[in-house]
């Protein structure tokens, strides 16, 4: 068996320890004689799995009691539509920092008045706009952000001043990468396939007072977040196996020392790559320095043929999935929690050698 260093933006690398545990429990989960894939979601065994996962997540993020944790499915895309179904009564403000925020905005605009509060489209989303004094009005039901922009490699290092309006955040690609203060948000959600687990699970952390029965009349029950919270994610069959893997990742995060330690490691890994980019004569980072993500690091040579050569040669060297998003080109290294420091070091060594050979 040989594993590559996988820099995929998502679905992405998972901790090897977690995959090994899952493999060892595949045929016979804790002596029950069946796989987690085969057991009823109403069974005592699965009840333990989902309850333990929630408890560990609550501990990792210090989630207060007046917030619900919900496990959903359907991808972030379903939440783009579900959020306005649940919360858009009059108006909602969207900050447009990339493709995911744009898609969320478009879904909201189908259902009501969506206002673009700010955008960084003018410079290919390479920065986070100044959000200290946006045209937010009292009749806005919420302010929406995409906190870490997976495609462009930007991250909000300061949350917007929402002028007292509820904050809704898509944290898919930075979830559990470092500590976060849940109390600053009303609705947080993450597709887990970036940093936490297999595709198919979305985790929502919502302030109970923000959840509402007053949803649009066409809202399916499984997209009614208050109802899903009341049913403890079990209104219908949840993505059982994915939730189980997320639970194993939460245990792994706790064993690693929790989110503070994870944040320290992630900062350290990102610094190795950014320090190299900042002195390189061939490669350059595409994001304004103060807005850089520690999860997704896009970079270019400025020459599309050379970029393609880099992607091909890095793959041959065991560094996989370094091609940039199909909409932006260039390269992108996603260095999520499960990417070891050694993987980033090997990437930088490879980049150094490539630069020597091609300049
Ligand atoms: C990947 C990603 C999405 C889209 O996720 P789907 O599960 O494919 O719908 C949305 N937002 C962010 C921040 C992402 O990284």
pTM, whole model, 2 decimals? 0.98
If you average pLDDT over residues 62-90, what whole number do you get?
A: 98
Our answer to whether residue 170 is catalytic in this structure is yes
Asked whether residue 62 carries a pLDDT value surpassing 80, the answer given is yes
Write down the catalytic residue from 91, 194, 207, 251. 194
Would you state the structure tokens that stand for residue 20, as one six-digit string? 């090994």
Please indicate whether residue 224, judged by its CB atom, sits closer than 6 Å to ligand 1: no
Write down the catalytic residue from 56, 91, 141, 170. 170
Cα–Cα distance, 159 to 313 (Å, whole number): 39
Query: How far apart are the two ends of the chain, measured CA to CA in Å?
Result: 36
pLDDT of residue 301: 96
Cα–Cα distance, 218 to 36 (Å, whole number): 34
pLDDT of residue 329: 87
Pocket-testing residue among 12, 100, 128, 334, ligand 1, by greatest number of atoms within 8 A of Cβ: 100
pLDDT of residue 327: 78
**77 Cα: distance to centroid of ligand 1 (angstroms):** 7
By the 8 A CB rule, do 126 and 179 touch?
A: no
pLDDT of residue 318: 96
pLDDT of residue 328: 81
Our answer to whether residue 252 is catalytic in this structure is no
Pocket-testing residue among 105, 145, 172, ligand 1, by greatest number of atoms within 8 A of Cβ: 172
Question: Nearest C-alpha to atom 8 of ligand 1 is from which residue?
Answer: 75
Coil, strand or helix at 168: strand
Can you tell me which atom of ligand 1 is nearest the CA of 199? 7
Pocket-testing residue among 12, 75, 176, ligand 1, by greatest number of atoms within 8 A of Cβ: 75
Is the four-CA dihedral 250, 254, 255, 259 of positive or negative sign? positive
**287 Cα: distance to centroid of ligand 1 (angstroms):** 20
If you average pLDDT over residues 168-176, what whole number do you get?
A: 98
Tell me: cis bond preceding 11? Omega within 30 of 0 counts.
yes
Our answer to whether residue 307 is catalytic in this structure is no
If you average pLDDT over residues 123-143, what whole number do you get?
A: 98
Can you tell me which atom of ligand 1 is nearest the CA of 151? 15
pLDDT of residue 13: 98
Cα dist. 356→62, 281, 297, 332, 333 in Å? 47, 10, 21, 20, 20
Q: What is the mean pLDDT of the chain?
A: 97
pLDDT digits (tens, 9 = 90+) for 306-353: 999 999 999 999 999 999 998 788 999 999 999 999 999 999 999 999
Would you state the structure tokens that stand for residue 335, as one six-digit string? 């260095």
pLDDT digits (tens, 9 = 90+) for 182-191: 999 999 999 9
pLDDT digits (tens, 9 = 90+) for 22-53: 999 999 999 999 999 999 999 999 999 999 99
pLDDT of residue 215: 98
If you average pLDDT over residues 260-275, what whole number do you get?
A: 98
Residues 6 or more apart whose Cβ sits within 8 Å of residue 303: none
| Closest C-alpha to 302, from 273, 335, 333, 329 | 329
Write down the catalytic residue from 100, 141, 291, 323. 100
Please indicate whether residue 191, judged by its CB atom, sits closer than 6 Å to ligand 1: yes
Please indicate whether residue 173, judged by its CB atom, sits closer than 6 Å to ligand 1: yes
Secondary structure in 3-state letters for 285-340: ECCCHHHECCCEEEEECCCHHHHHHHHHHHHHCCEECCECCCCCCCEEEECCCCCC
Percent of the chain beyond pLDDT 70?
100
pLDDT of residue 321: 97
pLDDT of residue 125: 97
Please indicate whether residue 93, judged by its CB atom, sits closer than 6 Å to ligand 1: no
Strand order in the sheet with 296-300: 284-285, 296-300, 331-334
pLDDT digits (tens, 9 = 90+) for 9-26: 999 999 999 999 999 999
If you average pLDDT over residues 135-147, what whole number do you get?
A: 98
If you average pLDDT over residues 180-206, what whole number do you get?
A: 98
Residues 6 or more apart whose Cβ sits within 8 Å of residue 215: 85, 86, 224, 226
pLDDT digits (tens, 9 = 90+) for 283-293: 999 999 999 99
Under the banding of pLDDT at 50, 70 and 90, the label for residue 8 is very high
Asked whether residue 102 carries a pLDDT value surpassing 90, the answer given is yes
Would you state the structure tokens that stand for residue 332, as one six-digit string? 């992108």
Asked whether residue 2 carries a pLDDT value surpassing 90, the answer given is no
Cα–Cα distance, 208 to 344 (Å, whole number): 40
């Amino acid at each position: 068996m040989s594993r590559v260093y996988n820099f995929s933006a998502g679905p992405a690398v998972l901790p090897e320890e977690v995959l090994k545990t899952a493999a060892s429990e595949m045929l016979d989960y804790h002596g029950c004689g069946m796989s987690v894939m085969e057991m009823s979601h109403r069974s005592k065994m699965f009840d333990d799995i989902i309850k333990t996962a929630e408890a560990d997540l609550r501990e990792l993020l210090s989630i207060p009691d007046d917030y619900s944790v919900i496990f959903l499915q359907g991808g972030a895309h379903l939440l783009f539509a579900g959020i306005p179904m649940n919360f858009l009564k009059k108006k909602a403000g969207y900050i447009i920092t990339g493709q995911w925020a744009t898609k969320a905005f478009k879904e909201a605009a189908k259902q009501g008045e969506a206002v673009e509060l700010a955008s960084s489209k003018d410079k290919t989303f390479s920065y986070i706009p100044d959000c200290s004094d946006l045209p937010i009005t009292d009749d806005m039901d919420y302010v929406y952000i995409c906190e870490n922009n997976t495609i462009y490699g930007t991250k909000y290092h300061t949350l917007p001043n929402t002028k007292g309006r509820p904050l809704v955040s898509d944290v898919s690609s930075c979830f559990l990468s470092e500590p976060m203060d849940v109390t600053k948000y009303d609705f947080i959600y993450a597709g887990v396939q970036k940093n936490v687990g297999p595709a198919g699970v979305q985790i929502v952390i919502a302030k109970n007072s923000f959840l509402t029965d007053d949803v649009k009349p066409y809202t399916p029950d499984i997209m009614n977040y208050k109802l899903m919270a009341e049913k403890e994610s079990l209104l219908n069959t949840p993505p059982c196996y994915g939730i189980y893997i997320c639970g194993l990742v939460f245990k792994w995060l706790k064993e690693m020392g929790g989110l503070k330690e994870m944040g320290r490691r992630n900062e350290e890994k990102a610094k190795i790559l950014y320090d190299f980019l900042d002195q390189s004569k061939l490669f350059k980072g595409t994001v304004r320095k103060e807005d850089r993500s520690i999860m997704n690091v896009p970079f270019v040579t400025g020459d599309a043929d050379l970029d393609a050569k880099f992607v091909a040669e890095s793959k041959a060297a065991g560094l996989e999935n370094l091609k940039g998003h199909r909409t932006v080109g260039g390269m992108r290294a996603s260095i999520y929690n499960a990417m070891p420091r050694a993987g980033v070091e090997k990437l930088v060594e490879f980049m150094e050698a490539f630069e020597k050979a091609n300049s």
